Structures are given as structure tokens and as C-alpha cells.
Amino acid sequence: MSQAEEATQQTSDNPMHQKAAYAMFGLLLFTYILMVADRFLVSMLAVDIRGALDLSVPNMFALTTMFTLGLGIGGLPAAALISRYSRKTVLLTGLVLLSAATLLFTQATGFTTMFVFIVLQGVGMSFLATAMFSLSTSYFAANRVAALGMVNLSFGLGSLFGHWVIGELRTALGSWEAPMLIFGFAGVALALAIMIFVRPWFSEVAPAAKHLVDSGGADTLKNRNTIILAIMSAAYGMVIYGFLGTFPSYMRGVLELPAADVGQIMLWFGVGGLTSYYGGKLGDKFSSKSVLFTCSLVLGVVTLFLFKPDQSVLTYKLLAFLVGVFGAAIVYTNLAGGHVKSLKRTLTSKGSGMFVTSVYGGAAMGGYTMGLLVDNYSWAFAGQVQISLLCLVIAVLALGLRQSEFSQ
């Protein structure tokens, strides 16, 4: 019996598998948390890496954003691989690739080799994320967006604790290579654990196995909802990574806040992202169209105040938290859910892949375009155009979605 056949016969409807399924999902979510934290290694250790490899400031800044390029490259290929191989195989491939690239960071000799390793790391994360999205929405088919919320909650946890863990390891071990080796080998160990403990009946369950009628959704990526959602996701990538990539620099350079205050402010973005499960529940209870329209508008209003000087640290913490709630927890989760719902349940991997490619394709340009706007105009203008105005564009595009054509 093939893995797909075994998975179709043994779904979570069988009470014997319920606890085991949650345990396996927990292992995968823990892995995802660690790998999200892994992505902050280069930005946290940038000063050490720049000194060791004799890099210029522009080159070092470019390296800190190239991870998203790999994420954008890997999304659709990951979906294509899932259609031919098992989700578990693609997930393990991504995890091993990401961990190997992390280990290879310590062997980099200059900008070119570090660039290659970072892009490979992004491709590995793309494979891992696409497989996680596809797996969670297939097994927990009755609550697809809430399941995506749990995956995004793990992303929030990795973002929240990643900087702190890496900083503590760097201080305790006295070497920039040591944290990279620890994360790399931890990833390999988790890959072995997943290989042994995650069973096909959980990872390979057919989306239609729990729903005899595969109703609604398109049978190809060339459909109205997917195209609109891809544009929305690319715009969202520019919004959120425009914020993440430049807001700390604005606070340090323009507001002249101490690094400790900046770290505390950005931590609240991660706290806001921890509400992702509830953001997903919104998408299960209400239409994707209404949730994305309303929350994109709210996000646009909130971001209007980001680049206003003479506000208190408490105000900036509140703004970062609200961006985390409405941006990372609600809009991101429901964009991912919308991509999945726009296709038939049997095509969840393609929806997940399109989401990853479009959102991180936009993200790869986010920091660069914000930099151009700041250089040629001002911080306030850059924030209003790339962040707030694009939120309005996302909201308007949401009105073009056809809820009746989503899968049920």
C-alpha cells in the first residue's frame, strides 16, 4: 500500500490517532519555531560576520535581506515536488537544506559564498513552510485557517525568541560561529526525529479524504481569486518587510533611541503575531473577503503613525503590537488561507506554494524600495506610500475576491 493510500484510510476521524496526530504536529511546530529563529542568525551576528569576511556595509545589508529571495524562489517548486512526492519528503528536504546552509555559513570566505548559502537557506525554509501549510490544511481540513494560524503562531514564537536566544548564545560562547553550528546540528537532529516519528497517515492525508465531496475551488492556478490573492500577497510582503527591514533603523538613526529600547519595541511585533490562531479562526468564521478588506484598512491606519517623531516608547510598542496583530496574525494568515481555499482541496500544496512565492517575492523588494523612497523623499513619505498606501491597495483588491468560488 502506498503512503497516500495509507494516509487516506487512516485520518484523524479515527480516535486512536488523535493524540498521536497532535504529538506529531507539535514536533513539526517546534521544528518550525527553531527554523524561524535560525533565520535571524545573519542579522544578529552581522557585525561579527562583516569583520570576519571583510564585507562592506551595503554588502552586509544586502545579505540580511536575501533570505526572502530564496523563500520566493522555492515556493512553487516545493508545491510541484509535493504533487510528485510526499509532504514529509519535501519537508525533510527543506529542513536538511536549511540546516546544511546554516552549518556552511561558518565556512564562507566572502560575499559570494555567503550570498549563495543564504539563498539556499531561504529555499530550504520555503520547502519547509510550503509543506507545513499543505500538511496542516489537509489533516485539519475542517479548520484550515485555524491550522494555518497555529503554524503562524510558531512563526511568531520563533521571531519573538530568536533574537534573544542567538544573543545569549553569542555572549555565552564568545564566537559567532558557535550559534550557527548549534542551530545547524539541531536542525539535523530534528530531521532525524521527524523521519522516525511522523507517520504517513498524518503527513500524507488526502485533502478530500475527510470530505467526500470536493466542492468549490478552482482546478488551476489561473483563476480570478488566486491571481488577485497573489498580487495582494506580493503587496503585503512589501508592506511587512518594509516595516521589519527599516523601522528599527528609523528608530535608531532618526529617533536616536537606544538599541535596548528598539529591541523592546520590536519584541511587541512578535507578541502581536502570537494571536495568529485567533486570526485564523476569524477566517474560518467569516469570509476571507471581509476579513482581508477590514483588517487591511485597519493596518493601513495604524501604519500611518509609525514614522511620526516625538511619540513615546510606549506608543511605538503599541503600534508594533498592532502591526503584529493585524499584519502578521490576521492578514498574513488569511492570505495564506485564501490561497488554499481558492483551489480545490486536492490542490492545497499548489495554493501554499503560490502564497509563499508571492508574499516573499514581494518581501525581497521591500527593504530596497523603502530605501529608495527614504533616500529620495523622506521617512514619512516612504511609510505613507509603501506601507499605508499599499495596505489600502490590498483592501481594495480584496473586494474583487469571489467568495462563492472558494472551496467549501
pLDDT in single tens digits along all 408 residues of the chain: 445 444 444 544 566 677 888 889 889 999 999 998 888 788 777 778 888 888 776 676 667 667 888 888 887 788 788 878 888 999 999 999 999 999 999 999 888 999 899 999 999 998 998 888 888 877 776 666 677 778 878 887 887 777 678 878 887 888 889 999 999 999 999 999 999 998 888 878 665 444 445 567 778 888 999 999 999 999 999 999 888 877 877 887 789 887 667 777 888 888 898 888 788 888 888 898 999 999 999 999 999 999 999 899 999 999 999 999 999 899 998 998 899 889 887 777 788 788 888 998 888 787 778 878 888 899 999 999 999 999 999 999 999 999 888 886
Tens-place pLDDT, residues 106-149: 999 888 999 899 999 999 998 998 888 888 877 776 666 677 77
pTM: 0.73
Candidates 232, 349, 222; CA nearest to 291 is 232
Residue 140: phi and psi, rounded to 5, are -95, 55
Tens-place pLDDT, residues 359-404: 988 887 877 788 788 888 999 999 999 999 999 999 999 999 998 8
Angstrom distance (rounded) from CA 11 to CA 140: 10
The three cell numbers locating residue 389: 498606501
Angstrom distance (rounded) from CA 402 to CA 60: 43
Candidates 274, 267, 322; CA nearest to 295 is 322
Residue 365 CB partners (closer than 8 Å, separation 6+): 237, 238
Candidates 329, 227, 235, 321; CA nearest to 276 is 329
Q: What is the pLDDT of residue 7?
A: 47
Q: What is the pLDDT of residue 391?
A: 97
Is residue 79 within 8 A of residue 128, CB to CB? The reply is no
Angstrom distance (rounded) from CA 357 to CA 69: 9
Q: List, in order of start, the domains of the chain with CATH numbers.
A: 1-212 (1.20.1250.20), 214-408 (1.20.1250.20)
Residue 194 CB partners (closer than 8 Å, separation 6+): 27, 28, 31, 88, 91, 92, 95
